[in-house]
Structure 1
Amino acid sequence: MRVVAAMSGGVDSAVAAARMLDAGHDVVGVHLALSQSAATLRESARGCCTIEDAGDARRVADRLGIPFYVWDMAARFQRDVVADFTREYAAGRTPNPCLRCNEKIKFAALLDKALALGFDAVATGHYARVVEPPDGRRELHRAVDAAKDQSYVLGVLDKEQLARAFFPLGDTTKAQVREEAAARGFSVARKPDSHDICFIADGDTRGWLGRQLGAAPGDIVDAEGAVVGSHEGAFAYTVGQRRGLRLSRPAPDGRPRYVVDVRPQTNTVVVGTEDLLGVDAITADRARWCGPAPQGVIRVGAQVRAHGEEFPATAWAEAERLEVRLDERIRAVAPGQAVVLYDGTRVVGSATIAQSRLERPGRQERPGRQEGESHQEGEPR
């Protein structure tokens, strides 16, 4: 089989390419140039889009003896990931750019180009497993290494994309991958993982959004509508956020306050006590299924953060709309995040959260704080 190995320049994609070659496939390494002004050195960027990363990928390809190319997808990445990220925050939502990159770049633009050039599939360094039951269908499952599992950010793949995807690291731990890379003589064996958002080099999402969208001063109000602070742009806040609020008026009871709503129409951020964050119902849209769409009401595990917990739930789909009812209350579910459904370790599909709410006020709440994510982990290395 002719396979394009997506090589970020990190240890994970290096070992994935090597394993595909060991399996007897005809492998070509491809590094995606996603930045229109890539940093020269890794010290000036926290992501995986530097010129130095491209050089690391090339050196691994040379050691493997496989052809290597750099494909320029910067314009597509800017349109489908960066611009989408900016629009979502401007609309008061909290997107996960890694999901969008997998959906629009790695398993759309990259896969489409690979197929057009006569390749059969794409392999990446994601930690997830593809399982093939006796009926011939391909299923997406969680990785063996729960701490590195990336099936959540792959929940956007449909069955056609999954049929042409390989994840060679799904049965391996990160420590084993590094040991294998060292044994193979890869210079990236001890290379640090990338974190945060790859196109925000300094990790300052709020500052980056401010430069993109401009200052937009507005009020921070409490649940009763009283002004308790100010902000420079509602886009910089996400449901569940506690840090960085800089409120001018403390809560009367002294309890900490969290963002409970972001209202871009009025440029207002609403804060309240932790108990206002509890929800047990989710409505989501843009549903995508990793296999046949579920029929009727199903029992699932629901995950709303890339490295969050899975919660028991009931779900049903109506076209591209998804309804999820959680068995218990959970906290800080923000519009724009993805809800990914699981049947055991199998990924059923995903959808983008449009609304979350509390339908059964008396239901027990999961203990512990779950603060909303303002940063997502970067690309696999």
Structure 2
Amino acid sequence: MNKPEILAPAGNLEKLKAAINFGADAVYLGGSKLNLRAFADNFTTDELKEGIEFAHSKNKRVYVTLNVFPHNEDLEGLEEYLKELYELKVNAIIVSDPGIIMTAREVVPNLELHLSTQANNVNWRSAIFWHKQGVKRIVLARELSIEEIKEIREKIPSDCEIEAFVHGSMCMSYSGRCLLSNYMTGRDSNRGQCAQPCRYKYYLVEEKRPNEYFSINEDDKGTYIMNSKDLCMIEHIPELVEAGINSFKIEGRMKSSYYVASVVKAYREALDHYFENPIAYKFDPKWMEYLTRPSHRVYYTGFYFGEKDKQYHSSSAYIRNFDIVGMVLDYDLKTKRAVIEQRNKAFQGDTVEVLKPKGDNIIIELQDLKDKNDKPIESTPVAQMIYSIKTDVVLEKGNILIKEKNQNI
């Protein structure tokens, strides 16, 4: 068995570094054009160059998304952009539109192509078709069972890779092809501008009684009939590996660095543990703890096991038990002081967990807080302020401090 790649989202440069530091084999991100996360930070050319250099220095890979369905005006400058990505040495581009694929084959024939899940590939014949067009990897549609994936793997060429989502938000429409946002807000979901109206609360209103709202759920709080749970396959690593999936994809370019780091760590540990001894492999509950602490919706296993009527979730609210409060920038062994960049407000005496790339989380207390001018402070109220703490626990650059939300209420 070949060990699958863990592929993580990178909404910006900080998240890219967090993903790689916490164990991702590759990251995917959006550049300045043609990606489906128009409201993410996305990468400038300089940031993309820095991110690629950082990833390659650690023998990791970077994939850039060009997965919109482009209108005519979106094609302007496409050739130049493709050449720029190739010269920056991206490892692959993720594409869904035949026009972009054709252009890439003409302009940068040596640039690796991955077919986006937006192309809705759900069978082995389609996979072979795209492979013949020069596509090396098929990102399968989310609407496939584990048995269907096995059959696809068995019937496609061995040099055609398959990638599948294993964790993150799900869409109520077919692999993201939705027009609700277009109809309701004028924002085109297929060009990166989705407003997620499927997460809104809805009532039933009869045309001639405009002020009478009828609930279409069990209670009087409205309903979220199109809202989906979040995918989570952490408890099914053996099945995913045995299905022949080459890349485990994590959704979440709009999520926090904490989310990226914690989710990557969970899947990294689980996958490594499985390959150490597949026969003796046992699921460790701590991996699920890593996944339930960052912001998420109720988890389920998607379409993998043929379960019926379980995608719907009765609330669009996220479950948020912990917040990221800081990123460690440095630690001085002599003074035992750690320099932190603030992410959420923290207070003197707070108990926080330190999320590290390897090993269990460590509990520390925030003591002797000082600002960047070395003056004592009681809290960290300013966004991204630099402060320091004293701790005997040796912290490392890139460690993440998280705090349970019920503190200081």
Using the size of structure 1 for normalisation, the TM-score is: 0.28
Larger Rg: 2
Question: RCO higher in 1 or 2 (8 Å CA, sep ≥ 6)?
Answer: 1
Normalized per residue, the structure richer in strand is 1
